[in-house]
Each structure stands twice: as structure tokens, then as C-alpha cells.
Amino acid sequence: MQVQCHRESKYLKQWDQMSHYLRNLYLRWGIWLNTSMYYCEHFELIKEIIDKLDEKDAVAVSKAEHLFSAFNLKHNLVYIKANFTTLAISITQLETSGITLADSINIKIKININK
């Protein structure tokens, strides 16, 4: 447990805002889209943080290092961000309580236009 706390404190010291943002992502339907876009925008910083962790501390660290060193990960994240940002925004808008039918239809039309 102490090793985990050490890794967590190392991570949070590097960038405290990130943990707050990630906690809020769990509240959305489009979690995987928002998370992918977040990792795309902050890829280098997250990779730097992961590289500073000792892979001997946990299997998760070792797996994260392996994934972040994969050639196509960053390219795939850029593709998702470029092609699905409108969808993620639309999902968030459609989740708004009290949205009118007209607004819902307009959101759907915007999604179709951006295909």
C-alpha cells in the first residue's frame, strides 16, 4: 500500500489538476471519447510521468510504459480527437436535463453535418 501511495503522490505532485479532471470524466456517457481526447492533448506529459515511475513497483506501471511506447497510440488518439470531438460534445449536450425537443433535433442535425 505504501508503494502505491508513493506512486500516487509522485503523480499528483507532477500535475494535480489531472486527477480532478479524470474524476469528473466518470460522470459522462462519452467517457471513452473524452478520456481519449484528454490523453491526446496531454500525451507527452502523461508519458513523462509514467516513465518516471518504477515498473518494478506494479504490473500496471509496466503495462502503461509498454502502451505509451507503442508507435501508433498517439496517432490513434489524434484520429479519435479529430473525428469524434463533435460527437462527444453532442453527447454532453443531449445529457442536459430539460433540453427541448428542438434543441435535441438541432444537435442531431449538427452530428449528421459533421460526418
Q: Is the pLDDT of residue 1 over 60?
A: no
Residues 6 or more apart whose Cβ sits within 8 Å of residue 42: 18
Summarize the confidence of residues 37-55 as an average pLDDT: 93
Residues 6 or more apart whose Cβ sits within 8 Å of residue 11: 18, 19, 49, 53
Q: Is the pLDDT of residue 68 over 80?
A: yes
Mean pLDDT over each residue of the chain, to the nearest integer:
79
CA dihedral 96, 88, 106, 103 (to 10 degrees): 10
Residues 6 or more apart whose Cβ sits within 8 Å of residue 44: none
In which domain, by residue range, is 43 found?
Answer: 2-113
Q: What percent of the chain has pLDDT over 70?
A: 71
- The domain total for the chain is 1
